[in-house]
Structure 1
């Protein structure tokens, strides 16, 4: 390969560019990004950045020295709009084309929006520009904030808004937040984190619509209530950015369909990060975006799948001063065993806890709240059981960014 183009200049795209050089690719490297910013870290957007404990410089994932060392051509502030039938040309929305021998698709995902059109005071939180706009509004003074969606972004945003002194309500359509990820028994613990911090949590109810014409004034719920609101943050999931690939030979179904090595229907095209459905799974987690590029690049340069990118899923979330960490693949029907700490009526007693999800005597997943050392040990054990990696092997620090 003489030219490789990475489409997507965020975390997964940067890691792919690093891997290309680390694995010996010395040809022309082009990185295309729809944002004008150099690669930055997204997890702090809903936490340290929103509360003012971090500024934009703290978000940077790279510096001028590394950028020079990568020897890449960065095309920022321009979107990819197409990939030709052979996967050898990337079409850009400003009319330019990039001829290439290999492509790494790292275009991530976009936030879902509520129906009803744009209004002042209604925000999503996916990009740096989103976070800038929301932070500016939250620093004008106390306001009534309604967070729609109790997932990780919603919970972290609610936590940050509460820390800033705002009146916060979280609206979650499910019976409990994070039920798909954690199951009902332990999702109750995350519900407790909201309530213990003085945040109202309304579950089992959806949004019927927004009130206000040019600016939002309230959120109408399906049970007939209307919540007054000065600021609404919508955290109802994300959609993989694959529209630009329509009409290409790539198979698309909630992401770019790939094998276990992140190789698509075209061997010269691989996909990584939030946009990749590798081996039947699409994981919107920081660790997936940083671990997949190693195998994907190896396979791209080999011209075939020689390495699997499968690993034990891992994510973490900081909410209301507590760190929530999860690893593994929980399934309905798994039993829960609290190994450290005590939980009574959804409330951890005497600090945090470590719990194991089990099936047929084997651990399928582990969850910890404020037990980072115990979690790291359990995570290594789970990796050893799942992948054959020795339990003493090192790995990324919990939450390492």
Structure 2
């Protein structure tokens, strides 16, 4: 596959960048269609297309925009990346499903361990590698400070023992950004450190979990005395909580931006169908909700691009995102009633898969109940109820 390559994207104004981006998407529409993922396949099969898609965008220069030159980027702010993701989605080509993980992990890695970022991120950015995130545990989901996976000091490194769960794409990943306890359990968030772990390390095993969509995009990861070299520590010992809190801003901000573009595309597909069956009020209410998400995500993204620390306010983005995802797919189910439940077509199967996935939106990345508590106490300053 050959694509035209733009070498000077970093120097363009936002308007010129947008004009050239839209022209490139139009010119390469056929090739972009060829690398769209087939979600009926297993994750092992289905991630091949997103990697090709990601490499195509990288080679053309679009995935370099908004990243620092030290990791293979062409410079500019994160808003350039946001332009790319939304323009692709508007044209009917959602961003590769390998990219949200990159957008969550890489900004934090660049900030806290620039040397590791220079060494390893270029392959991740090109699509040569896929990474996963090892945070959640069975008893430490939204309460990450309760994690029990432990890293103990060894000669020239660390030995890690423990168990992580709900790890996206872990079974096909090359590396894992891991949080592990390096202090005492009573230290809570003050005794956690972050590591970059190779998934082929002896003692590391990813066991796929098949979801109700039939796909195995989630996994458990088991660590049994897995040795990690000392230079794979991200940032400072016992400061992994700072790394995680910085990272979560991008999970709330850029990820929410990517998803709102995807949700607007879904609403555009639903609109003519809604006109035939009648729930137009619901369509309007859902569109207004997704537009609110767009505005909030844009505000957060601009603050992040300016170097601000957004902090607990990012929980608002997460709450809006989960409610929007479920509202859009609830509308799809009510609009396609009968066909949604019974049709065997690929399109109906896609709507069902999206519906099932969005049921977890109010749980993954921080449960809605936890996010409401954060907004109430840390943003609004309301007293805790005892």
Structures share a fold, TM > 0.5?
no
**What is the TM-score normalised by the length of structure 2?**
0.27
Which of the two has greater helix per residue?
A: 2
